[in-house]
Amino acid sequence: MDLSPKQIVNELNKHIIGQDEAKKAVAIALRNRYRRAQLSPEFREEITPKNIIMKGPTGVGKTEIARRLAKLVKAPFVKVEATKYTEVGYVGKDVEGMVRDLVECAVRLVKDEKTAEVSVKAKDAAEAKMVKILAELKKNDRGETPRDLFESNLLASLQKGVFDGLVIEADVRDEPQSMELVPGGAAINLGSIFGEMLPARKKKRKLTVKEAMQMFIAEEADKLIDDDAVKDEALRRAENDGIIFIDEIDKIAGKESGNIDVSREGVQRDILPIVEGSTVMTKYGAVKTDYMLFIAAGAFHVSRVEDLIPELQGRFPVSVELQSLTKEDFVNILTNTEHSLTQQYAVLLAVDNIDLKFTPDAIEAIAEISEEINLTSEDIGARRLHTVMEYLLEDISFNAGGGDYPLIPVEIDRKYVEEHLAKITKDRDLKKYVL
């Protein structure tokens, strides 16, 4: 997608409040990818992404910025935690797993796109298959009707959803179960390993027409998709567009320079070649990590960015600091983001005929309380709003539903907020609500 850095920031603003410095950094990194793609092959080989390290408290938007960025340009994206990786000999995951996960993500993305392209043909083939099953099932109802007309009528009824709940017996693909050979390790699917050597296995299952149609469409789409083309495109996207988000990078840094735990330094040294650029073998083929964008993040309460080993610091030339959220930020999060928390609660309770509305002074009160609790106890950023909102609407959520009631208007104002949050503003006892 050809977006300017300003357009990228504008898109991110719909979901993330504040943190302009971080948004600007990722927008430039993304635009540089587009710029690189327009260059001659000789120049393109020389230009590598400028990896980013984000420093800031939890809940201020570090992960969300990276996730939304990837979604914006349909780029393969994985989030990993640095603490899950350990050097060889310790219990943990192999660092190359993050690259393999990224390739799997790329394959899913490309396959979904290819499936969408052949969806019309796949649906037609699946409907033809289902009409044959229905014609056999209802052959006694045919009477003197010509076969073509009878099947045409069945197809029309099928498309209208008349048979959705009808239970039929159909042959569906038997997917072998994946086996985990090592606890915590990668799951091995023997069916995918021997898939090309062995014919596809089928098994009879009783299921509704609607469920069977979904399976038939998926099977027909698979027949129409070129697996080799999917694999090649997925590898290309993973190498050139992939984004790997390494969270909790501060947990593998030393508390102070020169005083670093051996195993944590080992993790850093294991991650280093992946970030520097290496070739990783996956089941789809070899993947180079040279042009992947790495975004690392951490709170860095105890350690500092400078406590990472110098070689790793050098691979993250762009460093941005994210700020703690203010009252104004909380107000904006509750009112100016797409699918805001207030909207989420309103649509959830609308299911039980509750017409939930928040007055502006109620929003302000919620923001004030959230900011105050973050300042006086653990700063968990925007996640504090989930805690406060859940506590605030506990009575309404508990009492709603369970009967056929008319629409009940409920307005939340400042007075309601202060009364229902009096306990937590008094003693800050939020432990049972904080995950």
Can you give the pLDDT at residue 182? 46
User: Which residues, in sequence order, are bridge partners of residue 202?
Assistant: 173
262 and 188 in a single domain? The answer is no
The verdict on 102 and 9 lying in the same domain is: yes
Q: Which residues have C-beta within 8 Å of that of residue 93, sequence separation ≥ 6? A: 84, 85, 86, 184, 185
pLDDT at 158: 87
At 256 the pLDDT is 47
**Is there a single domain that holds both residue 376 and residue 311?**
no
197, 224, 251: which is the final residue of a domain? 224
pLDDT at 191: 53
Q: Residue 298 carries which DSSP code?
A: E
Say how far apart CA 253 and CA 263 lie, in whole Å.
10
Phi and psi based region of residue 86 (left: phi greater than 0; alpha: psi -120 to 50; beta: remaining): beta
CA dist., res. 104 & res. 108, Å (int): 6
Q: What is the mean pLDDT of each run of 10 residues along the chain (435 residues)?
A: 85 88 91 88 88 89 88 89 67 80 94 91 91 85 83 88 84 62 48 54 81 89 90 93 91 62 78 91 92 91 86 90 89 89 92 91 92 84 88 88 79 90 65 48
In a domain, 83, yes or no: yes
Is-contact 250 83, C-beta < 8 A? no
| Pair 373, 428: CB distance under 8 Å | yes
Query: Per the structure, how many domains does the chain have?
Result: 3
The answer to whether position 113 is within a domain reads no
- CATH number (domain holding residue 20): 3.40.50.300
Domain CATH number, residue 406 = 1.10.8.60
Report pTM.
0.78
Rounded to whole angstroms, the Cα distance separating 249 from 252 reads: 6
Q: Is residue 434 part of a domain?
A: no
Q: What is the pLDDT of residue 178?
A: 53
**Adjacent-strand bridge partners of 207:** 168
Range of the domain at 38: 5-107+235-321
State whether 213 and 185 are in the same domain. yes
Contact 5, 73 (CB under 8 A): no
Tell me the two tokens of residue 147: 């076969």
Whether residues 160 and 300 share a domain: the answer is no
CA dihedral 280, 286, 288, 292 (to 10 degrees): -90
- Nearest 10 degrees: CA dihedral of 39, 40, 45, 46? -70
Q: End of a domain among 300, 321, 342?
A: 321
pLDDT at 407 (0 to 100): 84
CB contact set of 161 (below 8 Å; sequence gap of 6+):
210
Assigned token pair, 46? 């020389």
Beta sheet of 52-55, edge-to-edge order: 77-81, 243-247, 293-298, 52-55, 318-321
Q: Are residues 96 and 156 in the same domain?
A: no
Residue 260 sits in the same domain as residue 309? yes
Whether the CB-CB separation of 17 and 332 falls below 8 Å is answered with yes
Token code pair at residue 381:
């950023």
* R_g of the chain, CA atoms, integer Å: 27
CB 89 within 8 A of CB 73: no
